[in-house]
Amino acid sequence: TLTVGWNTNNRPIEIRQLQLDAGKPATVDLTTALAEGQPGWLWAELVEDDLLTANNRLVLPVRSPTPTVLGLAPQGAVAPAVPAGWAVHSVGFEAAPAEPSALLAYDAVAVVDASGEALSAEQRAALAGYVKLGGGLVLMGAGPYGPHSQADPLNGVLPLAVAPRPQRPLDVTVLLDASGSMDKPAEPAGGARRFDLVREAVMAMAQQQLREGDRLRVITFASLAVPRFDRDVTAANLGDLREILRDIRPAGGTWINNALHRAWDRTGRPAADRVVLVLSDLQTERFDEARWAERLCASGVHLAVVAVGQDDPQAPLKRLADASGGRFELRGDLTGVSELFIELVDQARRTPLIRRADHVRPTGPIFGLQPVVLPAIDARLAATAQGDSRVLAVVEEDAPLLASRSVGAGRAVHLAAPLEAPHNRAWRTAADAREVLAGAVAWVRAPAGDPRYVGRLRRDGPRVSVEVTAEEEGRPINHLNLAAWTTDVDGLVHEAACQQVAPGRYEAVLAVPTDTAALVHVGPREAAQVLWTGTLAGGYGREFAASGVDADALDACAAITRGAVVSAADVAARLQALDDARRTPLGPWVLALALIAALADWFTTRATSPPAADSGGPGAARAPSTPPTKP
């Protein structure tokens, strides 16, 4: 029994069952149409009670007649810009497919990710495979970066590589809660005050993360904000800092607004990155967090808030961190706060995010659009062009901001700028910027087909038969020089010439691995034009081919039986050797028996025959001719 159905958004919209007869084709009609702009997945599954179920299911992605974009973005982010008439299917990162074949149901994928870490390794590999198979990707934000990012599959298809910029000095300002609550014992810290743990966290961060050329400021806040330390980082100055922090006696309320003024109202060194760390409970006064977020972002400040206590989504410090794009860490107690301070400063030093206002300059026409004036940006990611990419827009010192690239059968566009609040509001709302981003989505889409060409794909294991019929107003189109091709996940193109087998009918055979899904294109061999595109599902071969050899089980079996695991080609020789080893060799036994018989005969002869006469000399006595009589 075979179950066949339509799926959309992981929900079945129609399911049918039919009986299969050996050697006979089966047909099922699905009457429910997909909604406009909604991709779907046609699936079939065997219902039989089978111990090996890996090859009992087949899924075929089906694109909607309306071009559809899969939008992957954090909750609350602006929907990606798309051309007029296109549909957007927006989901969270956790719902992103982890298989290239599932993504083939979409005409393009648009990703908004400022961190470069929102997608799992499997999801990033699926996106890379999707592009190489003929899909289109637009990334707004950061690609993978870090020590091993060069080997990440997604970086293999992106036109820009994001990397930490050359490290610059840090200006670190620490705002410490010195209210009365910080004078209480810290649990489970063995009776130490809460502020004692805070002091040690500041000292550990300064000693392990700050270096010569950095500058550190410490401001405590309670009923008043009090500057405690503002010096360059040296061993002597850090020794003074420990004494200063030891003398602080927490008391009073929790008023942070004045401390924010002191942290922001200063002239930072142009060559230094500014970091503000805040440690407090969430029981501060109300303040205008939106206004403060705007000020901090405009000043290029990296903000991190460590809150100790109960969670409160409406707390001003929580809202400030969210509005400024800063990091917010909630802790039930002060355990591990030293390690957290160290991590926060290390992250600020290594981040590729550059918070600085920059003008954006196009290098030429962008996606065929008329000359546009692109809005300035207030944050971008340090990036370099890679591969055969084409840089479309730059910022100060000709640093690339927007680039495109063709990889395999697909295309990718990368905007190295975060489009999540509070960054780059103009790029999220300005008409010219939205038009460019919509043009990027249109550009990465696989070329549309020609309605005069209708095709069909038939799989027979690794062989795929491509059949295309070409007609115009009911008349066949003959004598075309067509080719069929597909691209594998490694970016290699596999092509076969189409042979005309009937009026207006052309056929070709492609080699595609049985378990591989792909887009198959047909077009003229002499021009880079696609007349028809079909989606090919991945399947399975015979069950043993699908499951493969369980090497561990075979080795264990060989060890238990004192046998050996051999290849099929060596089986005959090994069986002959085993048969030979089981036979008893008779030759040595026959030789041994013959030797024993000969020795026995010789011994018998010697024992029973009389001794020979002594020839002696002339005077020697002769033995009598008859044996002597026994006494």
In terms of C-beta distances under 8 Å and separation of at least 24 residues, what long-range contacts does 128-131 make, across chains too?
A: 128/153, 128/154, 128/156, 128/157, 128/489, 129/100, 129/153, 129/489, 130/100, 130/103, 130/104, 130/410, 131/157, 131/407, 131/408, 131/410, 131/411, 131/412
Q: What angle do CA 455, 101, 534 make, to 5 degrees?
A: 10
Do 453-536 and 68-162+356-444 fall under one CATH topology? Answer: no
Mean pLDDT to the nearest integer, 597-621:
59
Mean pLDDT to the nearest integer, 379-401:
90
Supply the mean pLDDT for the chain. Answer: 82
Q: How many CA atoms lie within 13 A of 40 on its CB side?
A: 20
Structural domain spans, the chain: 2-62, 68-162+356-444, 170-351, 453-536
Query: Whole-prediction pTM value?
Result: 0.66
> Model confidence at 467, in pLDDT bands (50, 70, 90)?
very high
Q: Does 379 have pLDDT greater than 80?
A: yes
Output the pLDDT for position 502: 95
Instruction: Report which DSSP code applies to 377.
Output: B
Output the pLDDT for position 627: 47
Domain made up of 170-351: CATH architecture: 3-Layer(aba) Sandwich (3.40)
Residue with the bigger pLDDT between 473 and 220: it is 220
| Spatial separation of the C-alpha atoms in residues 198 and 166, rounded to whole Å | 31
* pLDDT tens-digit readout, 115-125: 888 899 999 99
* pLDDT tens-digit readout, 425-457: 888 888 888 999 999 999 998 776 788 899 999
- Give me the residues paired with residue 276 across strands: 173, 303
Q: Does 327 have pLDDT greater than 60?
A: yes
CATH number of 68-162+356-444: 3.40.50.880
Q: Which CATH class is domain 453-536?
A: mainly beta
> Model confidence at 508, in pLDDT bands (50, 70, 90)?
very high
> Model confidence at 629, in pLDDT bands (50, 70, 90)?
very low
Q: Does 626 have pLDDT greater than 60?
A: no
Output the pLDDT for position 617: 45
* pLDDT tens-digit readout, 256-266: 888 888 888 76
Residue with the bigger pLDDT between 605 and 67: it is 67
> Model confidence at 507, in pLDDT bands (50, 70, 90)?
very high
Output the pLDDT for position 35: 72
